[in-house]
Structure 1
């Protein structure tokens, strides 16, 4: 299982999902609700929740998606979906170690030189 906003879907998102899928028999992805995204990033997502869910669900490495309504419910999501492994990007290193009592926690290196925030900034400024 992994979690994310997956707004302005890019190659880095694809790579983390592909690598996460290699760690188990199936991959479930919790996608931040529009409200959760606005509260944690202080901005609304570019694409609404249903579109982000459709994009991620359409990937062959993803077996299912669900809405993440609260960061405080991660343990509940892991238990509800019987997750054996929680996969997060290494920018979150150590922040989810508390769940080691519920499942294995793995932090994957981010794909270099790409981030949603940087893409949005480049698009809004019209630069390359």
Structure 2
């Protein structure tokens, strides 16, 4: 009997929108157990140079309630290799807006060296947290 495939879908999940939902739905269809890593406020600030709109505890509760997510956890690491060391997932899911970036190359190198697959999903271009932030600032 083969072991269940554990998938990991990290993200800020700030201002949760349909793009987030689609990534989680698709990720769940490609693994047996889906863990969603919700970036802490400090990680969001470090990675995006912006404070999240929605506080960490609320983002974690929102993601925990999504039916595609088997478990939602705090992700206190920008470096997903450190998260892998903690929870041992088999495949990492990201939006393809990450593909080709310096951080993605570094992540791919570390994770592939320990046998973790990386799956990129098409970026939902018509909606993103950045786009929502822009729309909200224009409408104020």
TM-score where L is the length of structure 1: 0.91
In structure 2, the partner of 1:122 is 135
C-alpha RMSD over aligned residues: 1.4
8 Å CA contact 2:91, 2:117 repeated in 1: yes
Unaligned stretches of 5+ residues in structure 1: none
8 Å CA contact retained: 2:44, 2:52:
yes
State which drifts further: 30-39 or 45-54: 30-39
C-alpha distance in 1, partners of 2:119/2:53?
28
C-alpha distance in structure 2 between counterparts of 1:13 and 1:19, whole Å: 10
2:107 equivalent to 1:92: no
In structure 2, the gaps of 5 or more residues are: 1-7
**How many residues end up aligned between the 2 structures?**
126
TM-score (norm 2): 0.84
Is contact 2:77-2:83 (8 Å) kept?
Answer: no
Report what 2:59 is aligned to: 52
